[in-house]
C-alpha cells in the first residue's frame, strides 16, 4: 500500500500546475458541438482514498461530460443484475481497434471484444434496458448513490446531439442485432447508451463514486457492498487491458493502473487498496485520451509508486 503523503493536496497542486504549463497539445472532442464548446483550459484532479478522504486541485469541482467513463457504471450494474451469463454476449479481450470500430464485430459474429469499446457498452446497455423497467433512471440513481449526492444530472444538450450524430453507434447496434446479440429495440438501447454518456460529474464526484473498485467492492463511506470482491477484481482486470482504448498497453507500461478514459477529457484510475484518481482536461491525444489528464496521472503514479505491477 502506498503511503499517503501528509501533503497530498500540495502534491496534486504542483502536478496540476505542471500540467497547465504543458505545451499546447491535443484537441478538444468536436464530433458534437456541445463538447467542442467546452473551455480547453480546464484541468482538475481528485484522489478519493479508501479511508474516505478526497484530496483535489484545480477544476476538480467543475462538472464535465463523463462519456465513456460511464461504461464502468453500466458494466457493474449489468454484472450485478445478470451474473456470469452476460459474458456469453461480451468478451474480455483487448480490441486493438479504435473504440468505435465495426470490423471485428463482423468477424466475431456480433460479440464485442470487451465492455469498454462502444459495441460492448451498447450490448451492456441492451442488458440494462431489458432488465430494468426504467433503465435510465436506474443508471442515474446508481451513480448518485455511489457519489453520495443527488446533485448529478445529464447534460440534455449533449444527450440530444449524441443522438443526432449517433449513426456510427447505430450501425454497431444494428449489426449486433442482426447477429441476435441485441434483444431490445435498437433506438431504446441507443437512448440508454447516449444517456449514460451524457452524465456530468466533477473529478471529486467521479473519484468518490468509483472508490469501491479500490476497496474490494465495498463503498468505504456508506459501507455498502456495491459488487462482489470477485467482480471488483474483474472490472479492474478489464480496465487494465482495455480501459484506455488503443493506448491501454502503453498506459499499463508507463502508469500501471486500471483506468478508463472518456472523450470529455476525463480519466479515472483505480489504485487497488488505496483509492481512485480522477483527472480531467478536455484536450485529447490521437487515441482519444486526455493529454493533461494522462500527464497528471502518470506523474502522481510515479511519485507515489502506484503501479500495480
**Under 8 Å CB-to-CB from 224, ≥6 apart: which residues?**
145, 218
Taking CB under 6 A as the criterion, the residue among 49, 169, 215, 248 binding ligand GLN is: 169
Backbone angles phi, psi at 260, to 5 degrees: -135, 135
Taking CB under 6 A as the criterion, the residue among 101, 114, 118, 135 binding ligand GLN is: 118
Least Å distance, CB 231 to ligand GLN, is 23
Least Å distance, CB 48 to ligand GLN, is 22
Q: Among the options 47, 69, 70, 71, which is catalytic?
A: 71
42 tagged catalytic = no
Q: Given the C-alpha cell 456508506, which residue does it identify?
A: 222
Smaller CB separation from ligand GLN, 99 or 274: 99
Least Å distance, CB 188 to ligand GLN, is 16
Grid coordinates representing 220? 468505504
For residue 96, the tally of other CB atoms under 10 A from its CB is 12
270 tagged catalytic = no
Q: Report if residue 99 touches ligand GLN, rule: CB under 6 A.
A: yes
DSSP state of 84: G
245 tagged catalytic = yes
Q: Given the C-alpha cell 480547453, which residue does it identify?
A: 40
Q: Report if residue 8 touches ligand GLN, rule: CB under 6 A.
A: no
Q: Among the options 28, 69, 193, 270, which is catalytic?
A: 193
Residue 276's DSSP bridge partners are 48, 270
Grid coordinates representing 163? 443522438
* SS3 state at 196: helix
**Under 8 Å CB-to-CB from 283, ≥6 apart: which residues?**
24, 25, 26, 27, 28, 40, 265, 290, 291, 292
Q: Among the options 158, 235, 255, 263, which is catalytic?
A: 263
Q: Is 100 annotated as a binding residue?
A: no
Contacts of ligand GLN in 245-304 (CB under 6 A)? 262-263, 288
Smaller CB separation from ligand GLN, 68 or 77: 68
Q: Report if residue 243 touches ligand GLN, rule: CB under 6 A.
A: no
Write b or e for each residue in 247-257: b if 16 or more Cβ atoms lie within 10 A of its Cβ, otherwise e.
bbeebbeebbb
Angstrom distance (rounded) from CA 182 to CA 115: 14
Which spans of this chain sit near ligand GLN (rule: CB under 6 A)?
A: 67-68, 99-100, 118, 162, 169, 197, 262-263, 288
Which residues are part of a known binding site? Answer: 68, 118, 162, 169, 193, 245, 263
Q: Which residues are catalytic?
A: 68, 71, 193, 245, 263
Amino acid at each position: 500500500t502506498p503511503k499517503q503523503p501528509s501533503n497530498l493536496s500540495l502534491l496534486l497542486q504542483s502536478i496540476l500546475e505542471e500540467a497547465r504549463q504543458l505545451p499546447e497539445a491535443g484537441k478538444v472532442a468536436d464530433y458534437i458541438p456541445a463538447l467542442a464548446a467546452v473551455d480547453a483550459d480546464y484541468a482538475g484532479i481528485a484522489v478519493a482514498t479508501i479511508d474516505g478522504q478526497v484530496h483535489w486541485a484545480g477544476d476538480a469541482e467543475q462538472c464535465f461530460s463523463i462519456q465513456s467513463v460511464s461504461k464502468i457504471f453500466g458494466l457493474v450494474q449489468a454484472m450485478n443484475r445478470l451474473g456470469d451469463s452476460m459474458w456469453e454476449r461480451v468478451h474480455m479481450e483487448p480490441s486493438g481497434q479504435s473504440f468505435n470500430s465495426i470490423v471485428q464485430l463482423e468477424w466475431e459474429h456480433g460479440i464485442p471484444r470487451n465492455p469498454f469499446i462502444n459495441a460492448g457498452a451498447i450490448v451492456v446497455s441492451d442488458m440494462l434496458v431489458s432488465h430494468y423497467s426504467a433503465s435510465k433512471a436506474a443508471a442515474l440513481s446508481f451513480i448518485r448513490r455511489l457519489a453520495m449526492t443527488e446533485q448529478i444530472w445529464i447534460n440534455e444538450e449533449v444527450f440530444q446531439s449524441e443522438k443526432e450524430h449517433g449513426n456510427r453507434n447505430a450501425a454497431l447496434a444494428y449489426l449486433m442485432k442482426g447477429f441476435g446479440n441485441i434483444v431490445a429495440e435498437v433506438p431504446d438501447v441507443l437512448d440508454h447508451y447516449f444517456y449514460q454518456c451524457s452524465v456530468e460529474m466533477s473529478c471529486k464526484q467521479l473519484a468518490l463514486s468509483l472508490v469501491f473498485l479500490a476497496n474490494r467492492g465495498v463503498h468505504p463511506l456508506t459501507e455498502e457492498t456495491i459488487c462482489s470482491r470477485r467482480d471488483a477484481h474483474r472490472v479492474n482486470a478489464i480496465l487494465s487491458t482495455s480501459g484506455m482504448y488503443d493506448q491501454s498497453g502503453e498506459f499499463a507500461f508507463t502508469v500501471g493502473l486500471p483506468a478508463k478514459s472518456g472523450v470529455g477529457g476525463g480519466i479515472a484510475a483505480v489504485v487497488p487498496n488505496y483509492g481512485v484518481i480522477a483527472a480531467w482536461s478536455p484536450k485529447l491525444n490521437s487515441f482519444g485520451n486526455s493529454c493533461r489528464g494522462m500527464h497528471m496521472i502518470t506523474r502522481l503514479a510515479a511519485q507515489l509508486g502506484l503501479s500495480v505491477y
